[in-house]
Amino acid sequence: MTSMKRLLLLLALVGAVAQAQDKEPVEEAYIAGVPVSVYYLMPSFADGMVYFYSRVPAQGKLNICAIDHTLRFLDKNGQELQAEDNQGVSKVRIDTVWFLRSYDYFYRMYPLTADSGLAVKREVKILRDAKEGAYGMVSQTGAIREINKLYGDGVSVDINKNKKVHYEIIEELYLYKGGTVAAYNKKNLKKIFPALKPRIDDYFTTHKTLPHSLDQAQALIMEWSK
């Protein structure tokens, strides 16, 4: 490489670095005081299908609000609207992700068999009475649960950096079979996976509790199935 080519290459690299340093970080948009990535159960609106108990399915650009668990969709003009009849919804598919609706919540489904598996209920609660104290700690009347990330592609959130409101994310692990959601415990595991009863009993001879991480729970049930 000639000296001139080396010089041009060096100048191009310096210019690229300077340009990158000049760019300001993009601030995430907020809805109702929380980041968009937290406000919805899916990263963005996507093509999907809504399945009802008593009428034909409906198609559209869909998402689900993590605060009130209402189904949202975009009209032909891109305006966000809220579905009128959440009570009549049985399941929702958004892109390739399935949600089962039960007890006024949408549970994200993680199939392990043709009709059963693990489900995650995610709630976002606004802490309206929260007060920020020393070192950025947040307190509120009553205990604030630890934020645990269960989604493999979930968003890790630091509430101390929230510029709008304080909030907490609560994610709980459940079981499902067909259209029914059940508590994640030994009794229901044996009901939903009857062929695995001996393996489940063996597990509890040496363990007192089940893992509460989605990844660990999936791995454990798959291990029982071998």
221 vs 86: CA distance, rounded Å: 32
Q: Assess if residue 108 is contained within a domain.
A: yes
Beta bridge partners of 139: 131
6 vs 219: CA distance, rounded Å: 53
Q: Assess if residue 15 is contained within a domain.
A: no
pLDDT at 7: 42
How many folded domains does the chain comprise?
A: 1
Domain that holds residue 170: 27-224
* Amino acid found at 14: V
211 vs 209: CA distance, rounded Å: 7
Q: Assess if residue 20 is contained within a domain.
A: no
Q: Assess if residue 22 is contained within a domain.
A: no
Q: Is the pTM of this model over 0.85?
A: no
> Which DSSP helix (H) or strand (E) runs through 52?
strand 46-52
Find all residues with CB under 8 Å of 114, minimum gap 6, and list them: none
pLDDT digits (tens, 9 = 90+) for 28-52: 788 888 899 999 999 999 999 999 9
Cβ(191)–Cβ(182) under 8 Å? yes
Q: Assess if residue 218 is contained within a domain.
A: yes
pLDDT at 162: 44
Would you give per-residue pLDDT tens digits along the chain (226 residues)? Answer: 555 444 444 444 445 444 545 555 556 788 888 899 999 999 999 999 999 998 999 999 999 999 999 999 999 999 999 987 777 899 999 999 999 999 899 999 999 999 999 999 999 998 876 555 444 444 333 333 333 333 334 444 443 444 578 889 999 999 999 999 999 999 999 999 999 999 999 999 999 999 989 999 999 999 999 9
How far from each other are the two terminal CA atoms of the chain, in whole angstroms?
Answer: 59
pLDDT at 23: 52
pLDDT at 3: 52
**How remote is the C-alpha of 10 from its chain's centroid?**
45
35 vs 157: CA distance, rounded Å: 9
Q: Assess if residue 5 is contained within a domain.
A: no
Q: Assess if residue 13 is contained within a domain.
A: no
Q: Assess if residue 185 is contained within a domain.
A: yes
